[in-house]
Amino acid sequence: MIAELGHFALILALAVACVQGVIPMLGAQLGRLSWMRFADQSAILQFVLVGVSFACLTHAYVTSDFSVVNVVQNSHSAKPMLYKVSGVWGNHEGSMLLWVLILAVFGCAVAMFGRYLPPALKARALAIQALIAVGFYLFILLTSNPFQRMFPPAADGQDLNPLLQDPGLAFHPPMLYLGYVGFSMAFSFAIAALIEGRVDAAWARWVRPWTLAAWCFLTGGIALGSWWAYYELGWGGFWFWDPVENASFMPWLIGTALLHSCVVVEKRDTMKAWTIFLAIVAFSFSLLGTFLVRSGVLTSVHAFATDPERGVFILVLLLIVIGGSFALYAWRAPQLKSTGLFQPISREGALLLNNLLMGTAAGVVLLGTLYPLFIDAISDGQDKISVGAPFFNAVFIPLMTPMVAAMAIGPLLAWKRGDLTRALKTLWIAFVVAFALAIATWSWQSGQSPWGIVGVAIGAWLATGTLIELSERIRLFRIPFSQSLRRLISLPRASWGMTLAHFGLALAVFGVTGAGAWKVESVQTMRPGETVTVSGYDFRFDGAQEKQGPNYLTTEARFTVSRDGDVVTQLFPEKRVYTVRQMPTTEAGIYTMLSGDLYAVVGDSKSDGSYVTRIYFNPLVAWMWIGALTMVMGGVLSLSDRRFRIGAPRRAAAPAGAQPAE
């Protein structure tokens, strides 16, 4: 009964969304306020209905209702409660339901908190949201119904894929979806602005918080996913340039560009058409990501057993959204006039350079991801190729290096017309620090990949440069220290956000460099009592024993790690077999230090009692996660800036330079 209720609520939500896609849009066109207001009520109603639907599916999982096919295929009565709940979105149907739930959450948030928005803009944006939702409701109801029953009910479930039974992965999909779907808000506002023919500073202020929120979630989601891959898959790496990872990374790159170009629209009333373009592209990439994951067209570690019909449905949806929005863009964008002029060397110029580099990077990632499909298609299935990590590293790193280098300079340039020489003079300390660290790195690791040296140098350059920019802002050492301190405290939170986010990226650069350039790996067969030395750490294998977990059997090995005779830690890598699916998984034993991670994996046992073991020393990996966390914190801090909340969202009475198209 409850499953049918969930199904029915979803159908009602579809009906509401259909009306919401039409009435407010017409109301905005005809100037009827009550029709526009309808969008608020229907957005909230949609949220309630999808919420009910999602709660019903969750109920089926929590109570292990094995008459629902989806529960049978992805749950088991012996599974811990956390994974019963996360199992709701750990499968195709449930994850699509989560997608529309988040879409409804965002719509509801606009309806409830956007009270300063002009009614027409709000009505149009919510109508666009509803139209996107219609597409996804239809997708769920027609191709992937999570509430399907089976008769007779199964005795027990087939369990959730054991790799997904993990705390990191329980929260990875919701975070990622909050990011993906968050860009739909920027998209809806962009389309609404195109229909209105007006983009101004106030518009940028309304769009920025949504973009920022989406960006924070996406950053967090990607970091969580790569952290999970790092400790769960036992490959000692955290980023594989897998097509599905790329699918989440491309919207991140474009979203980052969008975030920066919104600043220019807000402060300088220029780069409007470009910002609209980025908003459309960011959401298009989110949809493309969904298509790549859900259709199984690409070989990927993420590929679930898939259904071609679903792929075609999303592809059609993708074509409608992208085709329609770009047609609208081509028609209306030329009418968006910019007033702010600027020199190439200026803050605007630097932000534009950021946009160009981010866009190019996203472009090459897209090319590398889709190229195998393209070759397959033109050779009629005769040639199959794969484009892997070496390609992406060879292209992406040279593109990002100048970007990171420019990031230290950009914030020091003035709006309109900047002084590059002065900015570089201000940065002399950063130059000295970067150079000194590069020399130190070179003398320490001579003969290895030059990218290690480059990575350390640009990481140090950006970190020091960001701190210099902060001290310039508070005029450190040029006015009395107490005054500087007061300035520091009263800095707007948005500027703190930038400082933290840029500094976080510098930390992440160190992490990526360390793990990418200097990882040490050692594979061997070990008997209990034997010791192997990796990067100066002695790993003694103490043996392994069998244990029983809640729904798995495990072989737990013990390593005692010491350095120069002093015990550092003990590692307990496991090899588990989940009993229901008879599926083995690896749990790495990891000890994290700021200098690097000690990482041990245990493999198969031999008849003579020895085990294959794989030991890594991953230098500086922790900086990667600390950096990502710092970036998210910067985003959150910026989001809490008061100008996004108080007073500011009112549109100026006679907006300068905005020319309504009607």
Partner 1 sequence: MKRKHKRLSFVLVALVLLGGAAALVLNAFEENIVFFQSPSDIASGKVGDDRRFRLGGLVEDGSVDRSGGETVMFRVTDTANTVNVSYTGILPDLFREGQGVVAEGRIVNGVFVADEVLAKHDENYMPPEVADAIKKSGQWQGSSN
We find the least distance from the C-beta atom of residue 387 to partner 1, in angstroms, to be: 6
We find the least distance from the C-beta atom of residue 158 to partner 1, in angstroms, to be: 10
Of 360 and 560, the one with the shorter C-beta distance to partner 1 is: 360
We find the least distance from the C-beta atom of residue 554 to partner 1, in angstroms, to be: 13
Of 12 and 358, the one with the shorter C-beta distance to partner 1 is: 358
Structure tokens at 552: 């798995």
Residues 6+ apart with CB under 8 A from 537: 561, 562, 563, 568, 598, 617
Q: Which amino acid is at 127?
A: A
Structure tokens at 433: 């620090």
Helix (H) or strand (E) holding 553: strand 552-563
For residue 493, CA distances in Å to 143, 497, 499, 636 come to 45, 6, 10, 9
Distance CA 173, CA 563 (A): 39
Of 188 and 295, the one with the shorter C-beta distance to partner 1 is: 295
The answer to whether residues 335 and 661 touch, using CB atoms and an 8 Å cutoff, is: yes
We find the least distance from the C-beta atom of residue 500 to partner 1, in angstroms, to be: 28
Of 11 and 385, the one with the shorter C-beta distance to partner 1 is: 385
The answer to whether residues 282 and 251 touch, using CB atoms and an 8 Å cutoff, is: yes
Distance CA 183, CA 218 (A): 10
Of 143 and 499, the one with the shorter C-beta distance to partner 1 is: 143
For residue 235, CA distances in Å to 228, 240, 586 come to 11, 10, 10
We find the least distance from the C-beta atom of residue 176 to partner 1, in angstroms, to be: 15
- Opening angle at CA 638, ends 489 and 48, nearest 5: 135
Of 187 and 239, the one with the shorter C-beta distance to partner 1 is: 239
Of 161 and 579, the one with the shorter C-beta distance to partner 1 is: 161
Of 15 and 341, the one with the shorter C-beta distance to partner 1 is: 341
We find the least distance from the C-beta atom of residue 30 to partner 1, in angstroms, to be: 39
Q: Which residues pair with 512 in a beta bridge?
A: none
Residues that bind partner 1 (CB under 8 A): 161, 163-164, 233-234, 296, 299, 301-305, 308, 341-344, 349, 352-353, 356-357, 360, 363-364, 367-368, 371, 381, 383-388, 390-391, 394-395, 398-399, 523-525, 581, 583-586, 601, 603-604, 606, 612, 614
We find the least distance from the C-beta atom of residue 353 to partner 1, in angstroms, to be: 7
Of 164 and 253, the one with the shorter C-beta distance to partner 1 is: 164
Of 356 and 593, the one with the shorter C-beta distance to partner 1 is: 356
We find the least distance from the C-beta atom of residue 92 to partner 1, in angstroms, to be: 11
We find the least distance from the C-beta atom of residue 416 to partner 1, in angstroms, to be: 12
We find the least distance from the C-beta atom of residue 25 to partner 1, in angstroms, to be: 35
Backbone phi and psi for residue 559, each to the nearest 5 degrees, phi listed first: -115, 135
Of 107 and 146, the one with the shorter C-beta distance to partner 1 is: 146
Q: What is the DSSP string of 227-281?
A: HHHHHHS-SS-S----HHHHHHHHHHHHHHHHHHHHHHHHHHS--HHHHHHHHHH
Distance CA 602, CA 600 (A): 7
Structure tokens at 244: 């599905």
Distance CA 141, CA 93 (A): 10
We find the least distance from the C-beta atom of residue 143 to partner 1, in angstroms, to be: 15
Q: Is 575 exposed, middle or buried (0-12, 13-18, 19+ CB in 10 A)?
A: buried
Q: What is the DSSP string of 591-625?
A: EEETTEEEEEEEEEEPTTS-EEEEEEEEETHHHHH
